[in-house]
Structure 1
Amino acid sequence: MSAWDQPLTFWEKVQEALNRLSILATVLSTTVTGIFRGQSGAKQYSVHVACAVIRKACVTYTPRQLQLQEAPTDETYRQFMTEQGLQPDTVPLKYGAKGHWIGNKNAKTVVVYYHGGGFFLNAYPHHFRYLGHIVKRLNNDVAFFFLSYSLTPHAAYPVQLRQAVEALRYILTQTNRSPSNIILGGDSAGANLALAVLLHLSHPNPEIDTLEISRPLAGVFCHAPWIDYRTDGPSVQKNAYKDMIRPEILNYWSAIYLGSKEGDAWSEPAKAPAEWWEGVKTEQVLIVAGGDEILISGIDEFAQKYKNVLPNMVYVVGSGETHVSAVYVADMVGHDTQQVEAIVNWLGARLV
């Protein structure tokens, strides 16, 4: 067990208690000031307060406190399945990863799904509830194979991408599905992985085993993709008090993900040359994002730049929505945001 995995010390717990008081102060102050937020705050009052609290937590807690306050992804999945009265179904994968089934694993179409959290945070309960909701909306005609990958700082790039490729390899080789019945999907950092895996299929990362597929994948969908690590876009300032993310935390997460490496086309898919996207192994790409998130400038730039080489790309921006709001502020907005509706409709069209 590394020092990072050790339980919080007494003094760390004391500090954590003080942090809670600081966050409570944010709740109280934002509850009042949020009434007068005007156009500078989130569209919904409850979302405005929640995002302020999340922003405060991300810079108040130490990184270790932030990571350890949530249950591990594997445990959260087990709890979700127990709540649903279902038996957990987990598959060990190469390189220390695991795959968790959500929905009927005998469904014709499978989505290999990668969760967000800056490569640093475990999956939240609402990740599983959100995907379970999509399965129900689509009448159980699709299943999700949810990758539990190694988090930073325990592992750095390209470990997570290697594990993401292995999840797809498992579905191809062990479930005997055609690529035309497989979709890649993910949110935020997970959407980064989905695009990176797609690039790897046609332009292999030299540090990762190649994966040949016989025909194109059914599609790839990206929910608020974190596709480059710049924090100088116009939306970073414009949406600073609307969204839940702060540039400081993005800078920290991207630095520990890259480790000693420079960013490249697989760690930051927006850096891939245009001609790489012309030969990707799918014709169907969906990108959804929130109009009030700080990442929207980079996402919009990516979508506009590559729409000519990805002619079937569908790009949807949820008006007044924050970053992956169906997960991170799900209790305030519910699951059926504009972004989720776009994903459900797009997935439904792939199941025909």
Structure 2
Amino acid sequence: MSEISPLLPRATQYGRPSLMDRIKMFFTLLPLPIVIIWSFLFKSGKTKSKKRVVFDRSLRYVVNSLNVRQLQHVMGTTRGVYDAWCKRNNLGPDVEGVGEGANLLWVGERGLDKVIIYLHGGAFLLPPFTYNLDFFHHVRTVLRQRGVNASVVLVEYTLVPEAIFPTPLKQAVAAINHLMNLGVDPQNMQLVGDSAGGNLVTQVLAHLLHPLESERVPALSLPAPFKGVYVLSPWVDLTNIFKTLDSGEDTDFLTVRTLTSWGSTILGPVSAKNRDYVEPNSAAEDWWKGVDAFVDRVLITAGEDECLKNEIIRFHSTFDNFHSHAKLVVQDEGIHNDPLLDFAVGKRDGSTTQFIIDWLTIGFQEPTS
């Protein structure tokens, strides 16, 4: 996040709530202990632990009760989250500039043999949670235990209101180009994104298919296809186009109101001609024609109980027409970003987590094209 200047309007500054916002935030969070106790006593899941159920309900209360400025103030910045995670894990931060105002934040020791490029979620408004980094550090650890010399790097891209589309796309492309310039072949790269990060991964693929030269997005010329792309609960519908989001209204931690409110914030400045890059499910059915030339394997996961489930299934059904190795997995009793949420409560052996790691392992072990 850039240094706050008192000369800038508050609306253009990241994470700067007004005095009234701060007062409201205090009173909004006062009932949180009641939510926790109520969830512990009266909420249960078929397969989830009580600890996980309490966390899910508490997260739902906080995320849907605070406005964006308040959430940004509470959560901090991507760099702040990363630095705190490194300190907690006795690791030195490893930050590398790539141009376009973006940075690579290495999750563990830096390496250029095989690289997982992680584009985080948060609706292009919020940073990742620390448990997201726990998840990817675990993935890295298991891969190395299996003899796969993989590293994980988080792309620090600029959030709203400090930047709007196509800045995150420019920064993601800059990160990929930087790694290729360092000698990492796309056959040794796997792109992973959750929620808005999954959306950003699809933007990268769309840019490869339909270069966004009019917005001065850097060119991306791959000498070989990416080895894999994995999108976790990708944000493919920002406006509830087909009126299907309410299927998870009572179970997900993100409500329809929050998803569409955030979506209108992100789509508001986007011109009609560029909308398909940002909202994949609004694109024509042949939008993804030719995508199989740019990535070998694609994995898409969703939660059975998340609001975006039906739209993620819709996205897969369209994408699958143009890629013969696009696999969809819908997790039973899962909500938005479910495998990541397990790590918030210390659970590392979830079946979907194991499946994801197995899928990434196979990708890196397969012969290059």
Q: What TM-score does the superposition give when structure 1 sets the normalisation length? A: 0.90
The structure-2 alpha-carbon separation of the partners of 1:313 and 1:9, relative to structure 1 and needing over 3 Å to count, comes to: closer
Q: Does the CA contact (< 8 Å) of 1:116 and 1:187 recur in 2?
A: yes
1:254 corresponds to 2:254: no
Q: Could you say which residue in structure 2 is the equivalent of 1:171? A: 179
Q: Does the CA contact (< 8 Å) of 1:274 and 1:309 recur in 2?
A: no
Deviation at 1:234, TM superposition (A): 7.0
The structure-2 alpha-carbon separation of the partners of 1:205 and 1:336, relative to structure 1 and needing over 3 Å to count, comes to: farther
Q: d(CA) in 2 for partners of 1:141 and 1:6? A: 38
Stretch of structure 1 that moved more, 123-132 or 298-307: 298-307
Stretch of structure 1 that moved more, 120-129 or 201-210: 201-210
Stretch of structure 1 that moved more, 67-76 or 130-139: 67-76
Q: Could you say which residue in structure 1 is the equivalent of 2:94? A: 89
1:200 corresponds to 2:213: no
Stretch of structure 1 that moved more, 13-22 or 45-54: 45-54
1:99 corresponds to 2:104: yes
Q: Could you say which residue in structure 1 is the equivalent of 2:138? A: 133
Structure 2 unmatched ranges of 5 or more: none
333, 337, 347: which is aligned to 1:334? 347
Give the match's secondary structure for 2:138: helix
Q: d(CA) in 2 for partners of 1:232 and 1:272? A: 11
Work out the number of aligned pairs and report it.
347
Q: Could you say which residue in structure 2 is the equivalent of 1:158? A: 166
Q: Could you say which residue in structure 2 is the equivalent of 1:49? A: 54
RMSD after superposition: 2.4
Q: Could you say which residue in structure 2 is the equivalent of 1:73? A: 78
Q: Could you say which residue in structure 2 is the equivalent of 1:268? A: 279
1:277 corresponds to 2:282: no
Q: Does the CA contact (< 8 Å) of 1:157 and 1:259 recur in 2?
A: no
Matches within 5 A, 1:225-236: 225-231=234-240, 236=245
Q: Does the CA contact (< 8 Å) of 1:326 and 1:334 recur in 2?
A: no
Deviation at 1:244, TM superposition (A): 0.4
Q: Does the CA contact (< 8 Å) of 1:227 and 1:268 recur in 2?
A: yes
Q: What TM-score does the superposition give when structure 2 sets the normalisation length? A: 0.86
Deviation at 1:240, TM superposition (A): 1.6
Q: Could you say which residue in structure 1 is the equivalent of 2:187? A: 180
Give the match's secondary structure for 2:239: coil
The structure-2 alpha-carbon separation of the partners of 1:271 and 1:235, relative to structure 1 and needing over 3 Å to count, comes to: closer
6, 14, 18: which is aligned to 2:23? 14
1:301 corresponds to 2:309: no
Deviation at 1:204, TM superposition (A): 0.8
Give the match's secondary structure for 1:284: strand
154, 159, 164: which is aligned to 1:146? 154
Q: Does the CA contact (< 8 Å) of 2:241 and 2:282 recur in 1?
A: no
45, 59, 63: which is aligned to 1:58? 63
